[in-house]
């Protein structure tokens, strides 16, 4: 499936959408597209300067956009943001949990700080946000939470062990929460994209530990992920959406190795060589 193509049968209704991690990458790309489609936005990032810079460049002063600095690790801050969003727009239709953190290191070289920040941002941030949004949405009997995980949520990636653990947690929590909340009219979708051409990819380009991340013929473009989220996840509200490079075979391979970990012993040397080749190719000017 080419995620860059928007299906002609998509009929858009105006929504109030909250997005985390909007200072760059997928979060910023989502905010730009949603702004262009006329949705009301609550745009957040932990870095106030980066958020305001992105806003000046992409979201001219407008009643359509509410900027808010947010540390997703702070449960109380989530509650305050929800109250402000409802006060401004009257409701919250969609929460897009995009903010994330990644360190590419072998498990025995990972620091206490690496572990803490990865779990706090990737896991606690998603749980705090989902729970805060759910409380607001349950009152209306409608809403949709979309949590961005990773292909590493389907198959543990050597070299990204702590990151893999955090994204497995996001997937498990999201699927369980989806079942809990559906009787209240609230949907939860976990999105599992492969490698995306963002700053997070750049962090991994020179790390041999991250070679397996680069197994696809090319990275996904942010626009491909945005299109899949807005025109697939937001429209059909599945429990899970996997986004990979078309015809790459990444998704079925990830699910197979995730279900049968012993296969990794045989496949890892081959995929590592391929990944290192792709890393070198992407590093070339």
State whether residue 240 is helix, strand or coil: strand
* Domain locations in the chain as residue ranges: 16-207+219-248
CB 208 within 8 A of CB 158: no
Least confident of 6-20, 55-69, 91-105, 132-146: 6-20
Confidence band, pLDDT 50/70/90 cuts, at residue 7: very low
Cα(92)–Cα(145) distance, integer angstroms: 10
* Residue 83: C-alpha distances to residues 34, 94, 126, 144 (Å): 22, 15, 18, 17
| CB atoms closer than 10 angstroms to residue 56 | 10
Instruction: Read off the pLDDT of each residue in 191-201 and give the average, rounded to a whole number.
Output: 96
Q: Which phi and psi (to 5°) does residue 44 adopt?
A: -130, 155
* Residue 147: C-alpha distances to residues 107, 144, 217 (Å): 25, 10, 26
State whether residue 62 is helix, strand or coil: coil
CB 148 within 8 A of CB 241: no
Instruction: Read off the pLDDT of each residue in 152-181 and give the average, rounded to a whole number.
Output: 97
User: Is 3's pLDDT higher than 90?
Assistant: no
Residue 67: strand pairing partners:
43
Task: Give the orientation angle of helix 263-283 with respect to helix 250-259, to 10 degrees.
Answer: 140
Picking from 240, 227, 16, 11, the residue whose alpha carbon sits closest to that of residue 142 is 16
Give the pLDDT confidence score for residue 285 in this predicted structure.
74
- DSSP letter, residue 213: G
CB 226 within 8 A of CB 33: yes
Give the pLDDT confidence score for residue 256 in this predicted structure.
92
> What length is written for the chain?
285
Instruction: Read off the pLDDT of each residue in 274-278 and give the average, rounded to a whole number.
Output: 94
Cα(270)–Cα(285) distance, integer angstroms: 26
Give the pLDDT confidence score for residue 274 in this predicted structure.
94
Tell me the catalytic residues: 163
Average pLDDT, the chain: 94
- Which tokens is 5 given? 């193509």
Which of the two residues, 4 and 127, has the higher pLDDT score?
Answer: 127
| CB atoms closer than 10 angstroms to residue 196 | 21
Instruction: Read off the pLDDT of each residue in 184-199 and give the average, rounded to a whole number.
Output: 97
Architecture of the structural domain at 16-207+219-248: 3-Layer(aba) Sandwich (3.40)
Instruction: Read off the pLDDT of each residue in 26-39 and give the average, rounded to a whole number.
Output: 96
Give the pLDDT confidence score for residue 39 in this predicted structure.
96
- Burial bucket for residue 183 (CB in 10 Å: 0-12, 13-18, 19+): exposed
Cα(35)–Cα(159) distance, integer angstroms: 37
Cα(205)–Cα(210) distance, integer angstroms: 8
Confidence band, pLDDT 50/70/90 cuts, at residue 11: low
User: Is 239's pLDDT higher than 90?
Assistant: yes
User: Is 22's pLDDT higher than 90?
Assistant: yes
* Residue 245: C-alpha distances to residues 2, 183, 197, 228, 251 (Å): 8, 34, 12, 12, 9
Residue-wise pLDDT for 102-131, tens only, equals 999 999 999 999 999 999 999 999 999 999
């Amino acid at each position: 499936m080419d995620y860059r193509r928007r299906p002609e049968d998509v009929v858009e209704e105006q929504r109030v959408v909250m997005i985390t991690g909007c200072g760059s990458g997928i979060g910023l790309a989502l905010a730009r597209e949603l702004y262009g489609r006329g949705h009301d936005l609550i745009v957040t990032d932990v870095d106030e300067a980066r958020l305001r810079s992105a806003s000046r460049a992409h979201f001219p002063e407008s009643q359509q956009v509410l900027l808010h600095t947010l540390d997703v690790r702070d449960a109380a801050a989530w509650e305050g943001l929800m109250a402000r969003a409802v006060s401004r727009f009257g409701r919250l239709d969609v929460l897009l949990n995009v903010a994330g953190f990644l360190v590419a290191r072998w498990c025995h070289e990972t620091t206490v700080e690496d572990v803490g920040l990865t779990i706090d941002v990737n896991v606690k941030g998603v749980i705090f946000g989902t729970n805060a949004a759910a409380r607001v949405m349950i009152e209306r009997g409608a809403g949709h939470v979309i949590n961005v995980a990773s292909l590493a949520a389907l198959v543990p990636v050597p070299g990204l062990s702590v990151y893999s653990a955090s994204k497995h947690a996001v997937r498990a929590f999201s699927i369980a929460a989806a079942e809990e909340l559906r009787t209240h009219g609230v949907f939860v979708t976990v999105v599992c994209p492969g490698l995306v051409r963002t700053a997070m990819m750049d962090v991994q380009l020179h790390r041999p530990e991250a070679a397996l991340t680069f197994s696809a013929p090319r990275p996904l473009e942010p626009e491909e992920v945005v299109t899949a989220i807005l025109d697939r996840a937001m429209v059909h509200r599945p429990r899970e959406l996997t986004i990979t490079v078309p015809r790459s075979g990444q998704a079925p391979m990830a699910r197979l190795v995730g279900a049968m970990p012993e296969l990794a012993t045989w496949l890892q040397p081959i995929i590592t060589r391929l990944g290192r080749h792709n890393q070198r190719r992407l590093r070339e000017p």
